[in-house]
Amino acid sequence: MAEPIPAEEMHAHDDHHHAEQSFWSKYVFSTDHKMIAMQYMFTGMAMALIGGFMAYAFRMQLAFPGVDVPGYGTVTAADYNALITNHGTIMIFWVAMPVLIAAFGNFLIPLMIGCDDMVFPRVNRLSYQIFLLSAIVLIVSFFVPGGGFGGAWTAYPPLSAKAEYNLTSLGSSFWLVAVALEFIAFLLGGINFVTTVMNARAPGMKMFDIPLVVWMIVVASILFMASVGPLIAGAVMLFMDQNIGTAFFDPDKGGDPILWQHLFWFFGHPEVYVVLLPAMGITAEIMCVFARKKMFAYKTFLYTTFATAVLSFTVWAHHQFIAGIDPRMANIFTVTTLLISIPIAEMCFIYIATLYGGSIRFTTPMLWALAFVAEFMIGGVTGIFLGASGADIYFHDTYFVLAHFHYTFFPIAIIGSFAGFTYWFPKMFGKMMNETLGKIHFWGTVIPFNCIFIPLFFLGGIGQHRRIYNYQHFPELAGPEMQDLRIFATVSLLVMLAFQLVFFYNCFISWRKKEKDAGPNPWKANTLEWTTESPPPHGNWTELPTVYRGPYEYSLPDREEDYFPQNVPS
């Protein structure tokens, strides 16, 4: 085992600790983990706005086919495909990943394990720079001749491989390059996260004293690094199929289009857990703090996480039951897929058990955390229908699938991110957010979210298939009742998008406040990030902390205060 590296050595060549910094070195080329976290956070938010705008454009088309969408114009069939493709790609790879893993990982890991920065600060900076480049490439892909790629975020060949089929020769290559660059950025980030947590923890912090969110980000990073290799290889193969005439996926020349599906989903399914785990960790932190409770069965929670991570590598072909794979394979993947419901169910039980006997304060972050659990359970159980091969024959590629994964990804990427952002905002900026506005924003997001996707479950259940820009071409799907449900979902989306303005307004006025009113520990929490000033200075602590206990010692019976920070000697 490597010894923890002393802070002075780590920064032997970075002598800008206390020096005045120029704008460029402070905000753009910074190697400070907190600044890189903010870069990821705000890039992710900007991309979320783009992804949300795309959802607005194609939902308008679905509700009111052929209408001139204000701010977009007419949505043609080609536009529609490009919009849904890039909405999915952006929300997963450029919103969920950067915000949940990179932003929270970068911000929290050094602060929660008690060190002054990541162990590879320059690798960290490089990771963000590659990520930013990937985002730019993706945005550019929309404006090249032929327009953006429209072959769905899964990019199944031959549609994605041949320009004569997808009609977007440049767009599809740009899309692929952007995705591959994004993977490289997160590989670099993942190396950093795992190494930092394993080697740079504060003295006294044992494995089981690490806060759950840090554990979750580490497991997610390992999961990502172990699963993404095949897809990077696949992306290179697809790129060569597109551009230099190889035939890895071309059946006319001996290739196999289904090979791509295996490479994609071998990564794609673990990817769900890559973003799920950090959101679960964030929720766990917040629930413990605001219920003033110790995490119920911390170690069991951790072991179920490991079980989920291992199992997640064995379930990928449930996305391909009817794709033309050998039908006998479906039986095996049905078993593994239903097995993974057990650790996930257990994690939900642990959340519920943690609330038992608590003293729950309904702050904005707590509302988000509770909503995460309540909504995610719906997403979880609806997945059982799709993992059961016999039922998937009917549900595959319908809106039932779409509603199911939005009930997992929305709680993860949006609810989980808002939970973390509102909880750590005081630490990031030293100022409290406005609670009233926070709660208005919470209800204005969560209620419309359910109103969008519950009708879509229903539409999927009665056979509405996916990725169709106008359902009037299908007699069984053109009825006015079904159209009413589509309109209801779209209107709910408009309401939800409008309420996001409250969030940005709240951020703005809170950030503008003159007085830093947060103090080091506004929530009376135990973990180490709350033992330094808000915002933490460069280097995080003047004297690095020592750890004496686990992170969730709330409401200990023999103590006067109901919390016991990790760094306070007993």
Partner 1 sequence: MIGQYVETLSTYANDIDNLILSIGVLVGFWLILCEVIFFYFIFRFRAKDGQRAKYITGEEATQKRWISYPHLLVLVCDVFIVVFAVKVWYDVKQQLPEPYETVRIVSQQWAWSFVHPGADHELGTADDIKTVDELHIEVGKVYHFKLEARDVLHSFSVPVFRLKQDAVPGRVITGWFEATGTGTYDIQCAEICGIGHGVMAARIVIESAERHAAWVAEQSSITLAAANQP
Interactions with partner 1, residue window 332-351 (CB under 8 A): 334-335, 338-339, 341-342, 345-346, 348-351
Minimum Å distance from CB 94 to partner 1?
21
> Any contact of residue 256 with partner 1 (CB under 8 A)?
yes
Q: Are 147 and 168 in contact (CB under 8 A)?
A: yes
Distance between CA 311 and CA 272 in Å, rounded? Answer: 12
Minimum Å distance from CB 14 to partner 1?
42
What is the pattern of x (binds partner 1, CB under 8 A) and - over residues 399-438? ----------------------------------------
Interacting residues with partner 1 between 185 and 244 (CB under 8 A): none
322, exposed or middle or buried, with CB in 10 Å at 0-12, 13-18, 19+?
middle
> Any contact of residue 390 with partner 1 (CB under 8 A)?
yes
The amino acid occupying position 487 is: I
Q: Are 238 and 260 in contact (CB under 8 A)?
A: yes
Distance between CA 481 and CA 397 in Å, rounded? Answer: 21
Distance between CA 185 and CA 332 in Å, rounded? Answer: 34
> Any contact of residue 167 with partner 1 (CB under 8 A)?
yes
User: Which residue in 90, 102, 191, 477 binds partner 1 (CB under 8 A)?
Assistant: 477
Distance between CA 279 and CA 298 in Å, rounded? Answer: 16
User: Which residue in 358, 520, 522, 535 binds partner 1 (CB under 8 A)?
Assistant: 358
Measure Cα distances from 368 to 102, 347, 563 in Å: 20, 17, 22
Contacts of 518 (CB under 8 A, 6+ apart): 426, 427, 429, 430, 431, 432, 534
**Helix 33-63 to helix 416-429 angle, to the nearest 10 degrees?**
140
> Any contact of residue 16 with partner 1 (CB under 8 A)?
no
User: Which residue in 1, 15, 145, 328 binds partner 1 (CB under 8 A)?
Assistant: 328
Report the length, in residues, of the chain. 570
Residue with tokens 């590879």: 120
Minimum Å distance from CB 345 to partner 1?
5
Interacting residues with partner 1 between 104 and 143 (CB under 8 A): none
Minimum Å distance from CB 381 to partner 1?
4
> Any contact of residue 565 with partner 1 (CB under 8 A)?
no
> Any contact of residue 17 with partner 1 (CB under 8 A)?
no
Interacting residues with partner 1 between 486 and 505 (CB under 8 A): none
Q: What are phi and psi of 68, to 5 degrees?
A: -75, 105
What is the total count of residues that contact partner 1 (CB under 8 A)? 99
CB-nearer residue toward partner 1: 114 or 147: 147
User: Which residue in 136, 352, 447, 498 binds partner 1 (CB under 8 A)?
Assistant: 352
Minimum Å distance from CB 252 to partner 1?
7
Q: Are 179 and 89 in contact (CB under 8 A)?
A: yes
Distance between CA 488 and CA 63 in Å, rounded? Answer: 8
User: Which residue in 439, 467, 513, 524 binds partner 1 (CB under 8 A)?
Assistant: 467
Q: 30: which 2 tokens?
A: 């910074």
